Structure 1
Amino acid sequence: MSKVLLTGANGFLATHILSQLVDSGYEVTGTVRTESKAEDVFLAHPSFKSKVKLVVIPDLSAAGAYDVVFKETQFDYIVHTASPVPDGSGKDFDQDFLVPAVQGNLELLHAARKYSKDLKHFCFTGSIVSVADVSKPFSGKVLTANDWNEVDPDVARQAQHGHVSYMYAKTLAEKALWKFVEDEKPQFTVSVISAPLIIGPPLQRLDEHAFGKGRTNMSSDLFYNTFLKPGTESSGNPLFSTYIDVRDLATLHVRALAEATDKNRRLLLANPEPFFAETVLEILENEYAQLHERLASVHAAAIVANNEEDVAHPFKVDDSETRGVFGDKIYRSLRATVIDTAKRLLEIE
Structure 2
Amino acid sequence: MLKPAIQGTLSVLKTAKAHAPNVKKIVITSSVASNLDVATFYDPNTTYTEKSWNPMTWEQAAEKGNPFANYMGSKLYAEKAGIEFRDKEKPQFSITWINPTYILGPGVALDMSALNTSNEVLANVLGSKKGQDPEGVAGWFVDVRDCARAHVVALKPELDGERLLLATAKFCTQDIEDIANKIPEFHGKIAIGNPANREKELNHASQCDASYSKKLLDIDWIPFNKTVEDFANQWYEQHK
Instruction: Identify the TM-score tier after normalising by the shorter chain.
Output: 0.7 to 0.9
Larger RCO, structure (CA 8 Å, separation 6 or more): 2
Task: Determine the C-alpha separation between the residues in 1 that align with 2:84 and 2:146.
Answer: 28
Under a length normalisation based on structure 2, what TM-score does the superposition of the two structures give? 0.87
Task: Determine the C-alpha separation between the residues in 2 that align with 1:141 and 1:182.
Answer: 30
Give the counterpart of 1:177 among 72, 78, 82.
82
Aligned to 2:115: 216
What are the residue-to-residue correspondences of 1:142-181 with 2, within 5 Å? 142-181=47-86
Residue 232 (structure 2) pairs with residue 342 (structure 1): yes
Identity %: 27
Label 1:262 to 1:255 Cα distance change in 2 as closer, same or farther (>3 A). closer
Task: Give the Å deviation of 1:132.
Answer: 1.0
Residue 169 (structure 2) pairs with residue 278 (structure 1): no
Indicate conservation of the 8 Å contact 2:130/2:189, yes or no. Answer: yes
Task: Determine the C-alpha separation between the residues in 2 that align with 1:233 and 1:171.
Answer: 37
Indicate conservation of the 8 Å contact 2:2/2:74, yes or no. Answer: yes
Task: Give the Å deviation of 1:300.
Answer: 6.8
Indicate conservation of the 8 Å contact 2:130/2:191, yes or no. Answer: yes
Under a length normalisation based on structure 1, what TM-score does the superposition of the two structures give? 0.61
Give the counterpart of 1:319 among 210, 213, 218.
210
Indicate conservation of the 8 Å contact 1:124/1:192, yes or no. Answer: yes
* Secondary structure in 2 matching 1:219: coil
Task: Determine the C-alpha separation between the residues in 2 that align with 1:279 and 1:225.
Answer: 13
Task: Determine the C-alpha separation between the residues in 2 that align with 1:157 and 1:121.
Answer: 31
* Secondary structure in 2 matching 1:275: strand
* Secondary structure in 1 matching 2:72: helix
Residue 223 (structure 2) pairs with residue 333 (structure 1): yes
Give the counterpart of 2:6 among 82, 102, 112.
102
Aligned to 2:203: 310
Aligned to 1:129: 33
* Secondary structure in 2 matching 1:241: strand
Task: Give the Å deviation of 1:238.
Answer: 2.2
Task: Determine the C-alpha separation between the residues in 1 that align with 2:159 and 2:176.
Answer: 39
Task: Determine the C-alpha separation between the residues in 2 that align with 1:170 and 1:231.
Answer: 38
Task: Determine the C-alpha separation between the residues in 1 that align with 2:162 and 2:201.
Answer: 33
Runs of 5+ in structure 1 lacking a partner?
Answer: 1-96
Indicate conservation of the 8 Å contact 1:239/1:277, yes or no. Answer: yes
Aligned to 1:238: 136
Task: Give the Å deviation of 1:172.
Answer: 0.8
* Secondary structure in 1 matching 2:119: helix
Residue 124 (structure 2) pairs with residue 228 (structure 1): no
Indicate conservation of the 8 Å contact 2:130/2:192, yes or no. Answer: no
Residue 19 (structure 2) pairs with residue 115 (structure 1): yes
Residue 81 (structure 2) pairs with residue 188 (structure 1): no
Task: Determine the C-alpha separation between the residues in 1 that align with 2:194 and 2:187.
Answer: 16
Task: Determine the C-alpha separation between the residues in 2 that align with 1:232 and 1:256.
Answer: 44
The C-alpha deviation readout for 1:130-173, integer Å capped at 9, x for no partner, is: 00124632252332222110112333443523332211111111
Give the counterpart of 1:255 among 143, 149, 153.
153
Task: Determine the C-alpha separation between the residues in 2 that align with 1:301 and 1:172.
Answer: 41
Task: Give the Å deviation of 1:189.
Answer: 1.0
Indicate conservation of the 8 Å contact 2:101/2:166, yes or no. Answer: yes
Task: Determine the C-alpha separation between the residues in 2 that align with 1:294 and 1:321.
Answer: 41
What are the residue-to-residue correspondences of 1:8-23 with 2, within 5 Å? none
Label 1:103 to 1:269 Cα distance change in 2 as closer, same or farther (>3 A). same
Task: Give the Å deviation of 1:262.
Answer: 5.4
